[in-house]
Amino acid sequence: MVNKKNLSKKLARKTFLNQKEAGMVVEELFDIILEEIKEGEEISIVGFGKFYGYEHAARPVRNPKTQEEMTLKPYRSLRFKCSNVVKKLLKEMTYSEEL
C-alpha cells in the first residue's frame, strides 16, 4: 500500500526534489483537490480519471435493531471515475498481479 510518505519518496526519486519538498508538493496537490471539490468543481486529470462530488438524495431507511422507520438526510460524497487508460491497464492485469 502506498501512503503520502511513500508517495513523496517515490516522487523525490523521480524528480530533482528532496523528500521534504516532494512531501510539500504532495500535500499541496491534495489540498488543491479538496478546495476544488469543496467549491463544487470537478478535477479531471487526463489519462488518469475524474474526481467529483456527488449528492445523495434523502431516502427512507429502517433501523435493523428497532425496526423504526426514519429518513436519511441528503449528504455529499466524493466519487472517482477512472479514464479509459486506467480501465485498460486494470483489464490487462491478471489476478496474480497485485494492484
If asked whether residues 46 and 92 sit together in one domain, one would say yes
- The domain total for the chain is 2
Give pLDDT, residue 98.
Answer: 59
Domain limits at 72?
Answer: 42-99
Same domain, yes or no: 97 and 72: yes
Q: What is the pLDDT of residue 77?
A: 92
pLDDT at 3 exceeding the cut of 90 = yes
3-class SS of residue 27:
helix
Q: Bin 63: left if φ > 0, else alpha if -120 < ψ < 50, else beta.
A: beta
Give the cell for residue 3.
501512503
Classify 97 in phi/psi space as left (phi over 0), alpha (psi -120 to 50) or beta: beta
pLDDT in tens, 16-67: 999 999 999 999 999 999 999 989 999 999 999 999 989 999 999 999 999 9
Are residue 57 and residue 34 in the same domain, yes or no? Answer: no
pLDDT, mean of residues 70-87: 94
Q: Which pTM value belongs to this model?
A: 0.71
